[in-house]
Amino acid sequence: MTDCIFCAIVAGQSPASVVLDEPDVLAFMDIRPFTPGHLLVIPKRHASGLAQLDPDDGAKVFAAGQRIATAMRASDLPIEGVNMFLADGVAAGQEVFHVHL
């Protein structure tokens, strides 16, 4: 496969603090969080960008992100807002070439 750190996490070859593990989607804490609670939601099937992303996988990634955001807001964490971000391509700021929300 590709040289992809997220693929290694999906394969269990790299450690991760997993928040959600479903058949097609994985969510885990970012190792360099931009804000408290910063996490990544990825499709388990590799797609380097949106053009390669299966639409069903994209829907599952967004649905997982929505469920996680809802759960975080319902928790005791001091959350006033949620930001979802997806960069597609170098010009958009993408640094890891495995789609992630």
Q: Which active-site residues does the annotation give?
A: 100
Q: In sequence order, what are the residues at sequence separation of 6 or more whose Cβ sits closer than 8 angstroms to the Cβ of residue 47?
A: 53, 54, 57, 98, 99
Report d(CA 61, CA 40) in Å as an integer.
10
Radius of gyration of the chain (CA): 13
